[in-house]
């Protein structure tokens, strides 16, 4: 199916564990983004990527690692999960010619 998908949709993990959230888009969009949504904070940018092998930090990058070896994939890794990383994570993509971002359905992550 065309679009942007995220997996898993729900994840429970323990403090200190590494967890990777996957994001895949089929539009060949140049730009991809990771956001977290927390009550009282709205959507905050974690990392973004302008193209394969090009990534930049956003507003809240600490504790996260990203990579982009292929245009269509943009995984987000929590190297050692903490309770403060409990959140809903959204991946988004956009074409270089437009500014509208298209969001995936989100991953709800709980760190116990």
Partner 1 sequence: DQQVKQNSPSLSVQEGRISILNCDYTNSMFDYFLWYKKYPAEGPTFLISISSIKDKNEDGRFTVFLNKSAKHLSLHIVPSQPGDSAVYFCAAKRTGNTPLVFGKGTRLSVIA
- As a whole number of Å, the end-to-end CA separation of the chain is 33
Q: What is the DSSP letter of 73?
A: B
Residue 33 touches partner 1, criterion: CB under 8 A: yes
Residue 22 touches partner 1, criterion: CB under 8 A: no
Residue 62 touches partner 1, criterion: CB under 8 A: no
Choosing from 44, 67, 75, 86, the residue that interacts with partner 1 (CB under 8 A) is: 44
Considering the complex, state which of residue 71 and residue 80 has its C-beta at the smaller distance from partner 1.
71
Residue 25 touches partner 1, criterion: CB under 8 A: no
């Amino acid at each position: 199916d065309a679009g942007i998908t995220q997996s898993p949709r729900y994840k429970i993990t323990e403090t200190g564990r590494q967890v990777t959230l996957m994001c895949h888009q089929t539009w060949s969009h140049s730009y991809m983004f990771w956001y977290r949504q927390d009550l009282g904070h709205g959507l905050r940018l974690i990392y973004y990527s302008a193209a394969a092998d090009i990534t930049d930090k956003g507003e809240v990058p600490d504790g996260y690692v990203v990579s982009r070896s292929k245009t269509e994939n943009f995984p987000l890794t929590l190297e050692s999960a903490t309770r403060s990383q409990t959140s809903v994570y959204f991946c988004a993509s956009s074409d270089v010619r437009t500014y509208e971002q298209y969001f995936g359905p989100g991953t709800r992550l709980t760190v116990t």
